[in-house]
Amino acid sequence: MSNTTECRFCNREDISIIKENASMVAFYDRYPVTKGHCLIIPRKHSSDFFQLNEEEFIDLGKILHELKDFLRNTDRTVTGFNIGANCGASAGQTIFHCHIHLIPRRSNDVKDPTGGVRGVIPEKQKY
């Protein structure tokens, strides 16, 4: 991992990596939304998703697919996923090291999942 002294992800020595490749590492979220919720971060410090280079985007895609397969194979109740990145304080980003959430979903884990990620603004979720 590259190191930026102020960055929580650059300086976390307690990360238990579950998947990794040339430019990305993945680990379980410390505050999971659902069981199996993972974070994927670039090894190099980048402030948000839009700072990733082409190689990192390719590696991100690969690790997302590997994690999807891993989570589905280890938990047969997983029936879907939400993938998300908060970019900027106004979007809810609190750690300014790019991190992508992979959140496993299960049938009936919420009453009505219609609208999915649109729920970040609750009155816009149902359409």
pLDDT tens readout for residues 13-66: 778 999 999 999 999 999 999 999 999 999 999 999 999 999 999 999 999 999
What global pTM score does this model have? 0.91
Opening angle at CA 105, ends 28 and 66, nearest 5: 55
pLDDT tens readout for residues 3-23: 567 888 988 777 899 999 999
Give 92's Cβ-side CA count (13 Å radius): 8
Contact call for residues 85 and 100 (beta carbons, < 8 A): yes
- The domains located in the chain, with CATH, are 19-108 (3.30.428.10)
Long-range residue pairs from 106-111, CB within 8 A, at least 24 positions apart, any chain: 106/34, 106/77, 106/78, 106/79, 106/80, 107/77, 107/79, 109/34
